[in-house]
Amino acid sequence: MPRGPLLSLRGITKHFGGVVALDSVDLRVDRGQVLGLVGDSGAGKSTLVKAVSGVVPPDAGTIEWQGVPVELRRPVDARRLGIATVYQDPSLVDRLDVVANLYLGRELRRFGVLRQIEMEKRTIALLERLAISLPGIRTPVKSLTLGQRQTVAIARALLDRPELVVLDEPTATLTVGQTSRMLDLIRLLRDQGHAVIMVSHNLDDVQAVADRITVLRLGCNGGEFESRYTSQEQLAAAISGGHPLAVT
């Protein structure tokens, strides 16, 4: 296995007109680890996620993938490298079933005919690998719970076997029970060798699964912490600007 971080960002800067959304932000994501990304609203988390996902190219800075400089100008650039992003809104098609949503836009065909049985087999295998339990793979997603819909969106992102999975507020709209199952899924992704960036406002959820936590404050780095050695009070102080490592 290659040494060094899987993804490294250095000096990432992004302006929107006269607004500085990101100001020389550094970030490191290691293989087989969960990185928590936290900060108040407006701290720059969403912009940074979009930069990693190729949605919003940075104005300045360096992005390295496995030690090699890369440019993420479009979402397809990120996907080709092995970066998958699941946003808070899973963007599923309600009237379609689980299989159809997983393979939407990349259906398996042979001589122009849909390979329905093969797609079903692969869907079952993927859900089993992720320990995802659903009422049925031919169930329309509109009848699933919010937690189940989120897991379907994650399963869809994992079809291409990405090395890095970016989860944007994965537990924000979930119940306590659904959140527990989502956190178990994030742990499983890590255990299966994926790197994960988990963006969240919920410090309890982040500390439950993250190996390291990066704080953004006012578009700048506000501190980086080892989760097991860090209290919520320290994280809250970094987010608000009261910690020695925080940006003031």
Q: What is the pLDDT of residues 52-93, one digit of tens each?
A: 999 999 999 999 999 999 999 999 999 999 999 999 888 899
**Matching residue, tokens 């900060």:** 39
Q: What is the pLDDT of residue 56?
A: 95
pTM for this predicted structure: 0.92
Residue 181 lies in a domain: yes
Residue 68 lies in a domain: yes
- What CA–CA distance (Å, rounded) separates 227 from 238? 13
Predicted confidence (pLDDT) per residue in 37-61, tens digit: 999 988 999 999 999 999 999 999 9
- What CA–CA distance (Å, rounded) separates 179 from 172? 9
Residue 33 lies in a domain: yes
The CATH number of the domain where 207 resides is what? 3.40.50.300
Helix (H, G, I), strand (E, B) or coil at 147: helix
The residue that leads in pLDDT, 247 or 9, is 9
In this prediction, residue 244 has a pLDDT band, given cuts at 50, 70 and 90, of: low
Query: How many domains is the chain partitioned into structurally?
Result: 1
Residue 121 lies in a domain: yes
Residues 6+ apart with CB under 8 A from 180: none
Residue 8 lies in a domain: no
For residue 166, give its domain range.
21-240
